[in-house]
Structure 1
Amino acid sequence: MSAQAVVAALGWVLLNFLWQGCVIACITAELLVALRNARPESRYAVACLGLALCLAWPAAVLVSVLAGPHDAQAGAVFFGIGFQAVPASEPGNWLAWLQAHTGWIVALWTACVAALCLRTATGLLWIGRTVRKERGDPAWQARLSAMAERCGLGRDVRLRVVERLASPVTAGWWRPVVLVPASLVAGMPPHLLEALLAHELGHIKRHDYLVNLLQNVVEILLFYHPAVWWISRRIRTEREQIADDFAARHLGDPRRLALALSELERLQFAGTGLAQAANGGDLLARIRRLLRPSTQSLDWRALVPVLGLALAFAGSAQALAGRDAVLADQRSMTTKALADFSSCARPDYPQADIDAGHQGTVTLAFLVDQTGIVGDSRVERSSGFASMDEAAHGALRKCRFHPALQQGRPVTEWTRVQYVWTLE
């Protein structure tokens, strides 16, 4: 498969995820509503599954398309999308317009992904440099190690005190480290800071930092879809509640953690988006949950995702019906390769041949591939003058074509063209 075909397939996968992401988000929302009074671990699993599906669905489509022509078509039909070439000559055909601009779509997507990767790499480098350079606190390191042992962590947990940091941050899963703001060490009561550290140990116990990095990968690749960011935010919200429950169990007093979170809220610390911190999520909601756990009643607004899901399926069904009709018409089409005359320039008459009064007709045979690009070409009948033959070759290379169709599918085909050189 050519690079251009790969780019076209990737472009269609990215475009089709617009509706696929909506379907996944609606299903995830309904499951979260149904589990509103369940343990946060259940909602966390559902949200993680939804985010994983956001990546797996388009990845499976792309793999099926790149597997080969026949497998690609079967996979495309199964997942409700089409990758066949659409005749660009049809007026008002938005599919043809998208097909013509998939290269630009993929280029823009690639640039944004590269920028987001650079941002994430910068954050990881900052964490690594901070862990190496910042000092530790022997007293708090001993407290954290004792807490980790009581919580059943079978590994050492390092502690670093950082000057310019908003709130405690957990980094690493193989050799975990907790970054603690120097202002908290100096100004927060020790028993409240211990509650925040217990929360961080909950993240380490569950390897949340690693999961968060995997979330960042999905967010980077599918950054353009709001559903991805909404599901990812729900994962972080449920993750914070799980860590809160972990800390409350090992502290034996939920009010202690609630007081610590209240102190963070009072000091108005800002959060970080790279690693899991003790102030992630809605602090007030977390404090209320710790102090007054209660069941949630069903809200009529929960029906909105159901309506959205129904509309998404209805729109997809209508689009697929229209697509099937278009493909049915295309399958019956068998045409020759046609030149896009708007892209073809008239060859320049060589000045030497004009001066010499040369005239003639050159017949060129050329190969048009499935994307409409001229590959190989040869002179079948010369005009008798090499300079005029070469000028005709040069004009042909600049011309684009609509590929030949056999039963609606673009095929590679040899065709011919004549250039008539006459002096008026």
Structure 2
Amino acid sequence: MHFITQLWSEAAIRAVCWTLVHSLWIGTLAAGLGGAVVMLTSKSSARLRYNLLGVCMVSFALVMAGLLAYEWSTEMQIGIKTDTFSGTLVWVNGLTLARMPIAGLEDRLVFFINQYSPVIFTVWLVSFLIKSLQFTAGLFFIQRVRTRRVQAAPPEWECKLLSLGRRLGVKPRVRLLQSELVKVPLTVGHFKPVILVPAGIFLQLSPGQIDTILLHELAHILRRDYLVNILQAMLETVFFFNPGLLWLSGLLREEREVCCDDIVLAQSPLKSTYLQALLAFQPYSSNRSESLELGLGGNALARRIKRIISQENQRLGAFEKIVLLGCLLAISAFCCKIKPEKTNVASSVARPDTSQAAGPTVLNSSATSIAHVVLPKAKKTHPTTTVPVADLAGTDTTQHFNSIRFIDNNHDIPNREMVVRDDRGNVYHLKFADHVLVKLRVNGEEIAEKELTRYDNLVAGIEKARLDAQAGKARAMKGRIPSQRYADMKTGKWGLPQTGKRNSRVKQMPPPTDISYDQTRVRGVIAALVRAGVVENASQVEWFGINENELLVNGKKQSASLHQELKERYDIRPKVGLFYGPIEMVGQGIILEKGDL
């Protein structure tokens, strides 16, 4: 799992994961549209039905591409879904808030997807790679049957194929080959199409039946079905888990064959001749898996024969109607569900001096996550309409800011990057380099570099709000310690100080929302120490500390090469180290005790 997070950023993983999740209901809607097409066009031509089903498929692909781009840009800009605030200790107007519960099914679902997005992404990626190998194997099989154990067709049938192609208007030169590897006629290739027929077919079927078979394959070439089928197979490879898309794709393949049947019947004087040719290959078609090649086979051959006889288009079965209706109703119920009111976050663990002016929300985050909370309504309300960007340059320092969020972390203040929201709904994305504003985006609009100095008042106001919030946090911490000790004494938890060896000079970062990522990193470091021969087994690791400058294990400094390897593998940066156990070193970063594993 850690290997995946090293190759892909967390934002990219979440973007792909949410795209895959949304594809389920979008695929269901596309399938619903496809079902409506089938029901409303029962008396229309197969060509119209095929085109409408194709529009549903293309619309799904375009929507998913746009959704992926949107999710990607959103994750890269913000860094995390705003609903993943559960379990985080946050500061609101100087109050230390308790861990906030997740209310409602929707919030729980969002939190679950965000928390396990690396797992979901890994499962999808492994399955996608397997499907891609199958897709590639299919392409190699096509190339193999085109060149292995084939022989030319009799000259008279090559001339017949040329004549039939001219009658249909097929422009590319088409080759006709007999193959010992195929059991049913099929067409492969787009730029250089080849029709492959089973060896000996010209001795087993009548000339009229062979004509209809060649007409069917030429119809595929005329319609460029092979290329469309390749693109369709690629879409199925990506969304292999999507039942709605797979069902819609099956409808499209079946209508494709029906369109070719109609072309054959329009050119052939006797319907019975074509039916006899189809029935001749029915024993082989039931075991054939259509994927990349095009031909007469497939599990839907019986329905095609029934359609040719009755001249009625396929209708949806009762089971298909029930499943589609149930899925659409479930989506409608979920979308129309009334969201419960957000619980007020004013219930606090401890209250500091309330005489101090209220500050904004400052979110302390670990190096790998950013939390987000819903603020309570302020006593003094302001219009929620955003102000034009040009008018914000003169904003004074008395402006109220509702939230300040740091991208990455808030421990490198000179080079900080943060997203700020004011009480009018304006969103500011600021980036500093050595305390100098180098980039500013207001409500999504990039501010030119030469115009940045006009926003000095805005920056000063944000900086003042940040410092006020930090001061409120310090006061809250100062007032919290005695009350916490008193609570421990009442509950019987008061005891002697711990005798651990950890140096008090180590500054521990605020705990992240979910320590599973850091647990994985600690276990990975311990495993690497065992592999490197530093210790014989994991139980011998009493403590270790790794920062930007050194790696210490049980008090012993390790080699520079091992330090560099682990530092790069586990994202160790200045002031963001990784420590385990009762450490005896100076540093700053994530600290996990033995009990945390």
Query: TM-score if structure 1 supplies the norm length?
Result: 0.73
1:12 counterpart residue number: 18
Which of the numbers 230, 236, 245 marks the counterpart of 2:262? 245
After superposition, the Cα gap between the structure-2 partners of 1:175 and 1:91, relative to the gap in structure 1 and judged at 3 Å, is same
- The answer to whether residue 276 in structure 2 is matched with residue 278 in structure 1 is no
- Rate the CA distance shift 1:190–1:24 in 2: closer, same or farther, 3 A: same
Deviations 1:206-249 (A, max 9, x none): 00011100110111000001111111110011111100011111
Q: Deviations over 1:277-296 (max 9, x none)?
A: 11335223222322331478
Quick one: structure 1 residues 249 and 91, their matched pair in 2 at CA, closer, same or farther if it must change by over 3 Å?
same
* 1:58 Cα deviation after fit: 2.4
1:138 match: 154
Residue number in structure 1 paired with 2:164: 147
Specify whether residues 367 and 206 from structure 1 end up closer, same or farther in structure 2 by C-alpha distance, changes over 3 A only.
farther
Q: In the alignment, which residue of structure 2 is the partner of 1:309?
A: 328
Distance in 2, matches of 1:162 and 1:174, equals 20
For 2:141, the equivalent position in structure 1 comes to 126
- Confirm whether residue 41 of structure 1 aligns to residue 57 of structure 2: no
One of 507, 510, 516 as aligned partner of 1:364: 507
Seen in structure 2, the aligned counterparts of structure 1 residues 418 and 159 have a Cα distance that, compared at 3 Å, is closer
Q: What is the CA-CA distance between 1:378 and the residue it aligns to?
A: 7.4
Aligned partners of 1:69, 1:268: CA distance in 2, in Å? 47
Partner of 1:193: 210
Say whether the 8 Å CA contact 1:117–1:220 is kept in structure 2.
Answer: yes
Q: Are 1:337 and 2:365 counterparts?
A: yes
SS of 1:105 mapped into structure 2: helix
In the TM superposition, structure 1's runs of 4+ consecutive aligned residues that sit over 6 Å from their partners are 70-73, 295-302, 326-329, 365-379, 415-419
Separation in structure 2 between the aligned mates of residue 108 and residue 45 of structure 1, nearest angstrom = 34
Q: Secondary structure at the match of 2:151?
A: coil
| Contact 2:38–2:314 (Cα < 8 Å) also in 1 | no
* Correspondence for 1:87: 85
In the alignment, is the contact (CA less than 8 A) between 2:209 and 2:276 conserved in 1? yes
Which residue number corresponds to residue 276 of structure 2? 259
Cα deviation, 1:46-73, whole Å, max 9, x if unaligned, reads 2212222332222211101223569889
Amino acid at match of 1:99: N
Shift of residue 370, structure 1, vs aligned partner? 10
Aligned in 2, Cα 1:27/1:83: closer, same or farther, shift over 3 Å?
farther
Counterpart code for 2:298: G
- In the alignment, does 2:111 pair up with 1:96? yes
Aligned-partner residue type, residue 306 of structure 2: R
Does the aligned pair in 1 maintain the 2:365–2:512 contact within 8 Å?
no
Shift of 1:97: 2.9
TM-score by length of 2: 0.54
2:578 to 390, 397, 411: 397
Report which of the two structures shows the higher radius of gyration computed on alpha carbons. Answer: 2
Q: CA deviation at 1:131?
A: 1.6
1:169 matched to 2:186? yes
Which residue does the alignment assign to 2:476?
none
- Residue type of the partner of 1:262? L
* Contact kept? 1:364, 1:418, Cα under 8 Å: no
Which deviates more, 95-104 or 304-313? 304-313
**Secondary structure in 1 aligned to 2:288?**
coil
CA distance in 2, matches of 1:201, 1:245: 13
CA distance in 2 between partners of 1:231 and 1:386 (Å): 63
2:225 equivalent in structure 1 = 208
Alignment CA distance shift 1:335-1:56 (3 Å)? same
Corresponding letter in the other structure for 2:307: R
Letter in 1 for 2:507: L
Letter in 1 for 2:578: R
| Matched residue SS, 1:170 | strand
Aligned mates of 1:250, 1:157 — CA distance in 2: 19
Q: Could you give the per-residue CA deviations for residues 363-398 of structure 1, whole angstroms, max 9, x where no partner exists?
A: 33769999987999779xxxxx997xx9xx999515
Quick one: distance in 1 between partners of 2:514 and 2:131? 32
In 2, the alpha carbon distance for the partners of 1:158 and 1:4 equals 51
Check the 8 A contact 1:167/1:270 in 2, yes or no: no
Q: 1:220 aligns with which of 237, 247, 261?
A: 237
SS in 2 for 1:161: strand
The percent of aligned pairs where both chains have the same amino acid is 21
Alignment coverage as a number of residue pairs: 368
The CA deviation at 1:88 is 4.4
Deviations 1:311-352 (A, max 9, x none): 31221332xx54x966997xx964433799xxxxxxxxxxxx
For 2:133 and 2:175, the matched residues in 1 are separated by: 27
Q: Secondary structure at the match of 2:158?
A: helix
| Secondary structure, aligned partner of 2:364 | coil
Contact 2:12 2:75 survives alignment (8 Å): no
What is the alpha-carbon distance in structure 1 between the residues aligned to residue 309 and residue 503 of structure 2? 94
Instruction: Return closer, same or farther for 1:15/1:266 CA change in 2, 3 Å cut-off.
Output: closer
Alignment gaps of 5+ in structure 1: 74-81, 341-357, 380-384, 400-414, 420-424
Distance in 2 (CA, whole Å) between partners of 1:261 and 1:359 is 81
Alpha-carbon displacement from aligned partner over 1:80-109 (angstroms, at most 9, x marks no partner): xx9335134266744333222211211111
Distance 1:327 1:210, change over 3 A: farther
Partner of residue 123, structure 2: 108
Q: How far 1:298 sits from its partner (Å)?
A: 9.1
Q: Which has the higher helix share?
A: 1
CA distance in 2, matches of 1:121, 1:338: 42
Encode CA deviations 1:255-292: one digit per residue, 9 max, x unaligned: 22122112222666633412111133522322232233
Distance 1:306 1:94, change over 3 A: closer
| RMSD, matched Cα | 4.2
User: 3-state SS of the aligned residue for 1:38?
Assistant: coil
SS in 2 for 1:195: helix
